[in-house]
Amino acid sequence: MLISLLFATAVAVDSACDASITLPSGFCASVFADSLQGPRHIVVAPNGTVYVTVTSGALALRDTKGTGHADVTAQFGDRGGTGIALHAGYLYVDTRTAIVRYPLAKDELAPTGAPDTIVRDLPTGGHGARNIAFDRAGLLYVNVGSRTNSCQSADRENQSPGIDPCTELDTRAGIWRFQSAKPNQTQATGEHVVTGIRNAEGLALNPMDGKMYATQHGRDQLAQNWSALYTQADGDENPAEEFVRFADHSDFGWPYCYYDNRYKKLVLAPEYGGDGGHKIDRCASKEAPLVAFPGHWAPMSLMFYEGNKFPAKYRGGAFIAFHGSWNRAPDPQAGYRVVFVPFAKGNPSGDYETFANGFSGKDQIFVPTDAAHRPCGLAEGPDGALYITDDLHGRIWRVVWKG
């Protein structure tokens, strides 16, 4: 499993661009790895080694020949999750019920020793991704998504009222903060820093301003469960998927509120007395998103671009990978793309734009399994390349600027 690290970290890619996805003019995507088992989130070490969570654990991959394609692979761990991150010489990995960390030896491709358990006993069921990020102080942030769709008395049932107050918020639908090196922490010993965020699978530090950001998966089934209040078209586009900035005590309103793309505001959910998009009520005190996206696109990861290899407009901006919708039927599904949000002076500075597209492989799909690919994880390499994972059919792309 040991291998020399003497190869260059900035690889020269001469392979033809992969035409299965579309990119802005001047960019080129190559297939870094293929036919993996459900690659989710991804991180790239300073030496160019790529680490990615997969169904059965995690993988370490290297391109030792400078071709832009992984030619050496090793698996480690025995339980796959979603989150993965590097911090202070350790690799942190989500195992669904815990966050563990492995020391990374200088010449090691994949960790060989047993990991330390940093956070244990995370809840199961419902939204199970435990994606992670670190702030400037080195503190660990963990997403614990909701167990239910909208905290109804009967989950996802027609006109079932919401539980009020939603007791799920005590241990779910939030972000917790932990010490990075202290073993055997639990939610009870950590800090509950964010609430009312249904599933924050995108979680990232913005190195330009030192603040923490997340994406939120909006709730499902407005039209299906509340057909007297919402048309099919209303339900297709609502609620918004959200890009947010958070701090201690942030509350984004789930399950009581959602952001309505029609009216450009947070409104009261029907389970809690909402009237289909007009009533605000308790939502006046909740935090609105920085950017709102169409409903059900499913933001899976968030990354701020730090490098200087892409054109200047990308410096400091945010990339978001969208998994694509599942619940717009009988209408076609949507999303299945990577978008870019420009930033200036600590805030979004223009409309988001689609950066990578064509993942669905067809003009229209009606169920997600008909897609060719579903974007999931994002990472930046030490050479400024952008890595994108597909957890449906197991591909990792490496995107570079060729000009």
Predicted pLDDT at 111: 94
Percent of the chain with pLDDT over 90: 94
Burial tier of 62 (Cβ tally within 10 Å: 0-12, 13-18, 19+): buried
**Cα 162 to Cα 256: distance, rounded to the nearest angstrom:** 8
Per-residue pLDDT of 34-47, as tens digits, reads 999 999 999 999 99
Is residue 10 very low, low, confident or very high in pLDDT (cuts 50, 70, 90)? very low
The residues that bridge with 325 in the sheet, in sequence order, are none
Residue 9 has pLDDT above 70, yes or no: no
7: its two tokens: 């190869």
**Is there a domain that residue 8 lies in?**
no
Range of the domain at 290: 27-401
**Is there a domain that residue 6 lies in?**
no
Question: Quick check: 39 and 50 in contact, CB under 8 A?
Answer: no
Predicted pLDDT at 2: 27
Closest Cα to residue 240, out of 288, 174, 300, 301? 288
Predicted pLDDT at 391: 98
Indicate the SS3 state at residue 173: coil
Predicted pLDDT at 16: 82
What residues contact 66, with CB distance under 8 A and at least 6 apart? 7, 8, 11, 12, 13
Strand 318-322 versus strand 337-341 pairing type: antiparallel
Closest Cα to residue 149, out of 195, 198, 106? 198
CA distances from 300 to 40, 41, 83, 163 (A): 9, 9, 11, 27
- CATH of residue 35: 2.120.10.30
> Phi/psi of residue 345, each to 5°?
55, 40
Name residue, tokens 């690919």. Answer: 373
* DSSP classification of residue 323: -
Residue 104 CB-half CA count within 13 A: 21
Predicted pLDDT at 275: 98
Predicted pLDDT at 113: 87
Percent of the chain with pLDDT over 70: 96
123: its two tokens: 């809840």
Predicted pLDDT at 8: 31
Per-residue pLDDT of 136-172, as tens digits, reads 999 999 999 999 999 999 999 999 999 999 999 999 9
Indicate the SS3 state at residue 276: coil
**Cα 325 to Cα 20: distance, rounded to the nearest angstrom:** 20
Strand 191-195 versus strand 250-251 pairing type: parallel
Predicted pLDDT at 232: 97
Q: What's the whole-number mean pLDDT along residues 290-311? A: 98
pTM higher than 0.85, yes or no?
Answer: yes
Residue 127 vs residue 107, higher pLDDT: 127
Per-residue pLDDT of 351-399, as tens digits, reads 999 999 999 999 999 999 999 999 999 999 999 999 999 999 999 999 9
Residue 222 CB-half CA count within 13 A: 31
Name residue, tokens 């701020």. Answer: 304
**Cα 391 to Cα 375: distance, rounded to the nearest angstrom:** 7
Task: Give the total number of structural domains in the chain.
Answer: 1
DSSP 177-238: EE-SS-TTB-TTTSEEEEES-S----EEEETTTTEEEEEEPPP--HHHH-TTT--HHHHHH-
Closest Cα to residue 93, out of 125, 136, 64, 122? 122
In whole angstroms, how large is the CA radius of gyration of the chain? Answer: 21
**Cα 93 to Cα 132: distance, rounded to the nearest angstrom:** 8
Residue 230 has pLDDT above 90, yes or no: yes
Predicted pLDDT at 15: 54
**Is there a domain that residue 21 lies in?**
no
Question: Quick check: 102 and 80 in contact, CB under 8 A?
Answer: no
**Is there a domain that residue 144 lies in?**
yes
Per-residue pLDDT of 324-339, as tens digits, reads 999 999 999 999 999 9
Q: What's the whole-number mean pLDDT along residues 279-292? A: 98
CA distances from 146 to 176, 178, 187, 195, 288 (A): 13, 19, 14, 10, 19
Q: Give the mean pLDDT of the chain.
A: 95
Lowest mean pLDDT among 58-62, 112-116, 220-224, 259-263: 112-116
Cis, peptide link before residue 165, omega less than 30° from 0 = yes
Residue 16 vs residue 357, higher pLDDT: 357
Is residue 5 very low, low, confident or very high in pLDDT (cuts 50, 70, 90)? very low
Residue 252 has pLDDT above 90, yes or no: yes
Residue 3 has pLDDT above 50, yes or no: no
Predicted pLDDT at 346: 93
